[in-house]
Structure 1
Amino acid sequence: MKNGPDIARVAALIGDPARANILTALMAGKALTATELASEAGVTAQTASSHLKRLLDGGLLRLRGQGRHRYYSLSGPDVAATLESLMGLAAGHGHLRTRTGPKDAKLREARVCYNHLAGTRGVQMYRSMIQRELLSEAGDHVTLTDRGHGFISSFGIDLSAPTRSKAPLCLGCLDWSARETHLAGRLGRAMFAHMEDRDWITRGIGSRHVQFSALGQEMFEQWFPV
């Protein structure tokens, strides 16, 4: 075997249908128990336990304990970005597990991608910020401009607050349904959380779908016109 990153091992971890279902269930950004993930994967608790161990050993998941409960989540935004790209690749080549329907339409419109806004709304936000020179692109590198810092401050987000996160401030994430970029990184996460706090958006129960309120739709269009 040639030296370098072992992509075959990572691909094998993701490639199993049950493990793929476990990983995509965690794309909503919420930590779930082994029992919940077994249900998502459609396997027994014992089988799920084996899959979870492999994903933990492979570095794709992290485990946190709270009292008697143990919760699993994706190990980081790089895993979420990889899964989002694979979803786009699969959809682009017609590898769909179900027929497109109303539920898929909602996911295409707005959904949570680990911890930031994705779908048509997420792409609109990113495109608006690029067009108004709030964000700057240089290849895969995305930065917040001086004008962007002022915009974010007026939006109500304090970027001077200390953080322990090692994630970059701005990160472009390829949206699997729109095939365009949406905003990830610490800024994408902060903007999603801020919209939740303002009751512009609510997360769907048991789904990655994000619902905009009437106020949220109005304010979103005001802040992120294209």
Structure 2
Amino acid sequence: MKLGPDITRIAALLGEPARANMLSALMGGEAWTAGELAREAGVTPQTASSHLAQLEAGGLIRRRCEGRHNYFVLAGQDVADVMEQLALLAGRAGHMRTRPGPRDPAMRKARVCYNHLAGDAGVAMLDALIAQGRIVDREGSLVITDAGRAFARDFGVCLDASAKRPLCKACLDWSVRRSHLAGQFGIGLLDRIYALGWARRVEGTRIVAFSAPGQHAFEQIFGRIGEPVAMTSP
């Protein structure tokens, strides 16, 4: 008998298209009902209930009961990380949809990755924070500097060093194939972007849509979306 974790069960859960579509929908960090997930997956409510039960038993999603309604969310950040990395691997291996949807460019520009900003905008934001000396990249491990803590405070982001969630974390972006910012700092920055009215979440999608003034304000701090940031000298 082989020892160690059995990845085959998780792989089987992720390998079914309807279940994969449900998990992808939950990558936005919001709670969805069974009916909403059934429509997203293109299956009947009865089939959706079976899939959701399997995902819940497999530890990939959690159920939230609100009155008479059940809602479903990803079980945690680690599930979102796996989904993001699988998307990256699929793209690198050439396993792409043959008919990309009309929302694909918007998804690539800016989207939610569970609870932080991803896509061109997310990568631009991390590039800028590193170039500005607010974050240091130590071989893929991100560390916030004193300048970064001051920036977070001035920007209205609360960081808690005693919390279990890391302050900074690199998350490899499937569409750009470079890292964007996760962790408390990444979550807090996206929350502030919403609060400042720079961007909004497009209902029913993971797309983060910037207004023209919002994109201008974002780019004043983090550089142009989709363009590399020149690194400053140490």
TM-score (norm 2): 0.90
Sort the Cα spacing of 1:222 and 1:91 in 2 relative to 1 into closer, same or farther, 3 A.
same
Aligned residue pairs, count = 224
Q: Show CA shifts across 1:108-166 (max 9, x none).
A: 11111111100000000011111122112223421211111011111121225x98x63
One of 162, 181, 190 as aligned partner of 1:183:
181
Q: Could you list the runs of 5+ residues in structure 2 that have no partner in the other structure?
A: 224-228, 230-234
SS in structure 1 at match of 2:73: strand
Spell out the pairing of 1:1-226 with structure 2 (5 A cutoff): 1-100=1-100, 102-160=102-160, 166-225=164-223, 226=229
State the AA in 1 paired with 2:2. Answer: K
State the AA in 1 paired with 2:136. Answer: S
For residues 149 and 156 of structure 1, what CA distance do their matches in structure 2 show? 11
Q: State the superposition RMSD in angstroms.
A: 1.6
Per the TM alignment, residue 2 of structure 1 is displaced from its structure 2 partner at its CA by: 2.1
- Runs (4+) of structure 1 exceeding 4 A deviation are none
State the AA in 2 paired with 1:33. Answer: T
Structure 1 window deviating more from structure 2 (70-79 vs 150-159): it is 150-159
For residues 31 and 4 of structure 2, what CA distance do their matches in structure 1 show? 32
Q: Show CA shifts across 1:170-220 (max 9, x none).
A: 111110000000011122111111110111111112211111112211111
For residues 101 and 46 of structure 1, what CA distance do their matches in structure 2 show? 27
SS in structure 2 at match of 1:52: helix
For residues 197 and 47 of structure 1, what CA distance do their matches in structure 2 show? 38
SS in structure 1 at match of 2:97: coil
Q: Show CA shifts across 1:22-77 (max 9, x none).
A: 10011111100011111111111111111111111111101111111110000111
For residues 29 and 130 of structure 1, what CA distance do their matches in structure 2 show? 26
Query: Identity of counterpart residues, as a percentage?
Result: 53
Q: Could you list the runs of 5+ residues in structure 1 that have no partner in the other structure?
A: none
State the AA in 2 paired with 1:192. Answer: L
